[in-house]
Structures are given as structure tokens and as C-alpha cells.
Amino acid sequence: MGTNETQRQINDAIRAGEQALASLQAANEELEQAAGYGRWDIFGGGMLPSLLKRSRMNDARGYMEDAEKALRHFQWGLRNTDVPTEVKLEVSEFVSFADVFWDGLLVDYYAQNRINEARNQITETEKRVKHILRGLTRKHTWGYVNDGM
């Protein structure tokens, strides 16, 4: 593969990684809002915070699906480089139906835990993507990659 083709793949991967980061950050912001509504819900907020939380969780799901697509493109663009590429994001089912219709402390607490787990996963994925992007930028600029974090 020629140098120009390699550089093009690196540029494509960088763009996909940046898009993945933007989607991950948007998802994390939505989940932060959902967590706030979740705390309100746990302390007896009733149906309104459950509905608001569900709306934020659905928005976060959309951003996470966008991030998943961008991450697949990101990994595909990295296939012929020597940059480590292990990045995963799981878009899991949130507990929205039960949270709204069986509104209770146990379900609210479980939903809050799921939100926090998703936020932790997003944060870890963001860190990994940023690390890979730094390696790509070094490779693109200087022609080498150092995988030390």
C-alpha cells in the first residue's frame, strides 16, 4: 500500500474517531441529565422525572448508536496501520418501561445503576479513542506510534 493511501486511511480514521468522540460526549451529557432526573425519581419525584429520565435515556441511546457506527468506521480505517485498535461500546437496553410503569424505589435504583454503568463505559471508550487518536496524529505527523499511555 502506498504512502498516500496509508495517509488517506489515517485521515479517514481520525475523522471517524473524532465523530465517535463527539457522539460519545453527547451521549454522556444526556446520561448526566438522566442521572439527575434519576436522583429526583429515587427520592419520590413521581412519574414526571421518570418520563424526563426516559427521554434523556432514549436520546443517549441514539448518540451511542451513532458512536457505535463511527467506532466501526474508526476500526476499519485503522486496519492497515500499526496503531492498536481495541475499542468497544455496547448499547444495552435501558430499563425504561419498568421504570415508568412500575415506578418504585427498587426499579428506580436499578435504572440509576444502569445509567451510571453506561456513563462509565462511555468514559472508558472516550479515553481509549483519545489515546488511539493521539497515536494516529503522531503517525500522521511524525511517522511513528508509541503506544505508551
Contacts of 42 (CB under 8 A, 6+ apart): 105, 108, 109, 112
Whole-number pLDDT of residue 101: 43
DSSP-derived secondary structure letter, 93? P
Over residues 77-104, mean pLDDT = 57
Distance CA 89, CA 25 (A): 13
Of the two residues 63 and 6, the one the predictor is more confident about is 63
Digit-coded pLDDT (tens) for 108-121 = 788 888 888 888 88
**Per-residue pLDDT at 53 exceeds 50:** yes
Contacts of 31 (CB under 8 A, 6+ apart): 56, 57, 60, 115, 118, 119, 122
Whole-number pLDDT of residue 144: 53
Of the two residues 94 and 38, the one the predictor is more confident about is 38
Of the two residues 108 and 71, the one the predictor is more confident about is 71
| Domain regions of the chain by residue span | 3-140
Grid cell at residue 24: 460519545
For the chain, the residue count is 149
Cell numbers 465517535: residue: 20
Of the two residues 38 and 10, the one the predictor is more confident about is 38
